[in-house]
Chains A and B, each alone.
Chain A
Amino acid sequence: MLTVLIILCIVLASLSALAYLLLILGRAVSLRREREEAMAINAWKEKLLAALYEQADRDSRERHWLMVAGNMLINQIEGGDRDRLVALLASTGARDRLIRQLATGNRHAREDAAEALAFYQDELARQALWRAMNDRTHSVRFQAARALIRMKAVEDIQALLLKLDPADNASLLVADLLLQLPPEQLASTASLLNQPVGEGLVIQLIQLYGEKHLTETGPAVLATLDHPDARVREAAWRTLGKLETPLERNTVLRGLNDLDPEVSAMAVEYVGRMKAVDYLDDVTALLEHPNWWVGFRAAEALYSLGETGRKVLRASVIGGVATAADVARRVLLEYEPETQPGGAH
Chain B
Amino acid sequence: MDWARAILDLLIQPLLWLSALILIFAVGQNLFYLYQTIMAWLEFRRNHEAERLLGTHRIMTARTTPGISIIAPAYNEEANIVESVRSLLSLHYPAMEVIVVNDGSKDQTASRMIEAFDLQPVHRAYAMLTAHKPIRGIYRSARFKNLLFIDKENGGKSDALNAGINLARHPLFCSIDADSILDADALLRAARPFVDSPNRVIAAGGTIRVANGCRVYKGTILEEHVSRKALPLFQTLEYFRAFLIARLAFSRMKSVTIISGAFGLFSRKAVLQIGGYSHGTVGEDMELVVRLNRFFCERRTAYAVRYIPDPVCWTEVPETLKVLRRQRTRWQRGLCETLARHRVMVGRPRYGRTGTIAMPLFVIFDVVGPILDLIGLVLIPILAAAGVLSLTFFLAYFSVVCLFGIFLSILALILAEKSRFRSNRLRDMVYLLLGAIIENFGYRQLNNLWRIEGLFQFLQKKQGWGEMTRTGFKATTQAPGCD
Contact = CB atoms under 8 A, between A and B. Distances in A.
Interface of A: 2-3, 5-6, 9-10, 12-13, 15-17, 19-21, 23-24, 27-28, 31, 139, 142, 167-169, 171-173, 175-176, 179, 199-200, 203-204, 207-208, 229, 231, 292-293, 296, 326-327, 330-331, 333-334, 337, 343, 345
A2 B24 CA distance: 11
Contacts of B62: 171-172, 175, 200, 204
B63 A204 contact: yes
A28 B433 contact: no
B171 to A, nearest CB: 9
Given A28-B426, A333-B125, A20 B61 contact: no
Contacts of B123: 330, 333-334, 337, 343, 345
Contacts of A326: 127
B404 A13 contact: yes
Given A12-B403, A334-B125, A172 B429 contact: no
Interface string B254-297: 00000000000000000000000000000000000000000000
Contacts of A168: 64, 195-198
Contacts of A334: 123-125
Interface string B195-228: 1111100000000000000000000000000000
A199 B197 CA distance: 10
B64 A200 contact: yes
Contacts of A20: 410, 413-414, 429, 433
Contact of B403 (A9, A23, A327, A331): A9
A13 B403 contact: yes
A229 to B, nearest CB: 7
B377 interface: no
Nearest to B411: A16
Given A17-B406, A169-B196, A204-B62, 7 more contacts: A15-B407, A24-B426, A27-B423, A168-B197, A175-B63, A204-B64, A296-B125
- Please list the 8 inter-chain residue pairs (A to B) with the smallest Cβ-Cβ separation, ordered nearest first: A9-B399, A292-B127, A330-B125, A16-B410, A204-B63, A9-B403, A2-B396, A13-B403
Contacts of B426: 24, 27-28, 31
Interface string B123-146: 111010100000000000000000
Interface string B108-131: 000000000000111111010100
B199 A5 contact: no
Contacts of A327: 125
Contacts of B64: 168, 171-172, 200, 203-204
Contacts of A169: 50, 53-54, 196
B393 interface: yes
B59 interface: yes
A21 B426 CA distance: 11
B53 A142 contact: yes
Contacts, number: 127
A327 B128 CA distance: 12
15 contacts: A2-B395, A9-B407, A13-B407, A16-B414, A17-B406, A20-B410, A20-B433, A27-B422, A168-B195, A169-B54, A172-B59, A204-B62, A204-B64, A292-B129, A345-B120
Contacts of A330: 123, 125
B125 A6 contact: no
| Main DSSP-derived SS at the B contact region | helix
Contacts of B199: 229, 231
B411 A3 contact: no
A326 B399 CA distance: 67
A278 to B, nearest CB: 27
Question: Which of B120, B121, B399 has the most chain A CB atoms closer than 10 A to its own CB?
Answer: B399
A144 to B, nearest CB: 13
Contacts of B423: 27
Interface string B42-80: 000000011001100011011110000000000000000
B400 interface: yes
B357 interface: no
Nearest to B120: A345
B417 A17 contact: no
Contacts of B27: 5
A16 B393 contact: no
B429 A23 contact: yes
Instruction: With a 10 A CB-CB cut-off, give which of B49, B121, B125, B199 has the most chain A CB atoms.
Output: B125
A6 B198 contact: no
A176 B197 contact: no
B361 to A, nearest CB: 22
B437 interface: yes
Contacts of A27: 417, 422-423, 426, 429
Nearest to B122: A345
A172 B122 CA distance: 37
Interface of B: 27, 49-50, 53-54, 58-59, 61-64, 120-125, 127, 129, 195-199, 390, 392-393, 395-396, 399-400, 403-404, 406-407, 410-411, 413-414, 417, 422-423, 426, 429-430, 433, 437
Contacts of B54: 169, 172
Nearest to B52: A139
A197 B64 CA distance: 14
A16 B411 CA distance: 7
A169 B123 CA distance: 39
Contacts of B403: 9-10, 12-13
Given A16-B414, A20-B413, A21-B433, A179 B404 contact: no
Contact of B400 (A5, A17, A345): A5
B58 A173 contact: yes
A297 to B, nearest CB: 11
Contacts of A199: 198
A101 B125 CA distance: 60
A179 B61 contact: yes
A204 B65 CA distance: 10
A195 to B, nearest CB: 18
Contacts of B63: 175, 203-204, 207-208
A17 B437 contact: yes
Contacts of B422: 27
A207 B64 CA distance: 9
B53 A23 contact: no
Contacts of A176: 58, 61
Contacts of A200: 62, 64, 195, 198
A219 to B, nearest CB: 21
B132 to A, nearest CB: 15
A331 B125 contact: yes
A318 to B, nearest CB: 19
Contacts of A207: 63
Contacts of A343: 123
A208 B61 CA distance: 12
A6 B127 contact: no
B129 A16 contact: no
B50 to A, nearest CB: 8
Given A9-B404, A9-B407, A203-B64, A24 B125 contact: no
A331 B53 CA distance: 44
Contacts of B399: 5-6, 9-10
Residue of A15, A175, A204 contacting most chain B CB atoms (<10 Å) = A175
B308 to A, nearest CB: 15
A139 B53 contact: yes
A179 B61 CA distance: 9
Contacts of A171: 62, 64
A326 B123 CA distance: 14
